[in-house]
């Protein structure tokens, strides 16, 4: 059993075969998936998917690339969704200094607003952090009190991971851990305590080896899990059970 804790199954790349993609995941042992919103429209789709499929849970939020689109009325809309039983996180929120489709100051303000929403709704967060490690950690230190969550598709240093772990946070690992140019990520996932790791696909993006270059889908989270289990020199079943329990603990998934 595995849980893909970060996917975008609502993406238009799945328009033609979404039901088949979900069934392939289930058939491969991925018993639960968290579909993560990136703007208001995708968050609405995420909520609908969770209502339509027993195996899917939802996260709702505004991605940093879409931060400039967030209006005041969206706070109330996100809050109303956050009260639904199958909405298990606020996300995908955070900072992205690689594309900067929204100005950095706007990203920061929207990030803080959604952290406050998560605190009020007593929900964990799924954080996007690309080329913004310093500001992400600074905001979490100042504005993240009383909140826990996961740094999705972790790309920081061991020092950053260690700081997050001390605060009770989780580390999300995706397809890049299987890449030849994975840099320090394989070393980091060997050091993170087993009870703080989550596996993700970020479908339809970042397909792991041996599917690299193809459309990613939740069934492929198994390749991520197998790679990490091998790096840690533990049986796949042991690793799968641990990360499933981690996801259940953080997100309250049944």
Annotated binding site for a divalent metal cation: 6, 8, 92, 128, 152, 202
d(CA 250, CA 106): 28
- Residue numbers belonging to the annotated binding site: 6, 8, 92, 128, 152, 202
How distant, in Å, are the alpha carbons of 36, 67, 80, 102 from that of 64?
Answer: 13, 5, 21, 7
Strands 170-173 and 2-7: unpaired
Longest dimension (CA), the chain: 49
d(CA 34, CA 55): 9
d(CA 90, CA 126): 6
First to last CA, the chain: 13
Element housing 134 (H / E): helix 133-143
Sheet with strand 197-199: strands edge to edge = 2-7, 30-36, 56-60, 87-96, 125-130, 149-152, 170-173, 197-199
Alpha helices in 83-132 (DSSP H): 104-121
């Amino acid at each position: 059993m595995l849980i893909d804790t970060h996917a975008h199954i609502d993406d238009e790349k799945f328009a033609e075969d979404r039901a088949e993609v979900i069934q392939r995941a289930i058939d491969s042992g991925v018993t639960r998936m968290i579909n993560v919103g990136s703007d208001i429209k995708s968050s609405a789709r995420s909520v609908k998917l969770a209502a339509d499929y027993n195996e899917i849970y939802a996260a709702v939020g505004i991605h940093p690339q879409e931060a400039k689109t967030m209006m005041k009325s969206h706070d109330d809309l996100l809050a109303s969704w956050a009260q639904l039983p199958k909405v298990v996180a606020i996300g995908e929120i955070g900072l992205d200094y690689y594309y900067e489709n929204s100005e950095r100051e706007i990203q920061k303000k929207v990030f803080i607003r959604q952290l406050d929403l998560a605190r009020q709704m007593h929900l964990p967060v799924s954080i996007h952090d690309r080329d913004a490690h310093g500001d992400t950690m600074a905001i979490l230190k100042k504005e993240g009190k009383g909140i826990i969550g996961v740094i999705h598709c972790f790309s920081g240093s061991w020092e950053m991971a260690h700081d997050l772990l001390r605060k009770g946070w989780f580390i999300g690992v995706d397809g890049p851990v299987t890449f030849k140019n994975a840099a320090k990520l394989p070393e980091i996932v060997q050091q993170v305590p087993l009870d703080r790791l989550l596996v993700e696909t970020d479908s339809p993006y970042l397909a792991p080896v041996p599917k690299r270059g193809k459309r990613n889908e939740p069934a492929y989270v198994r390749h991520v899990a197998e790679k990490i289990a091998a790096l840690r020199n533990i049986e796949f079943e042991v690793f799968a059970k641990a990360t499933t329990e981690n996801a259940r603990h953080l997100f309250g998934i049944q």
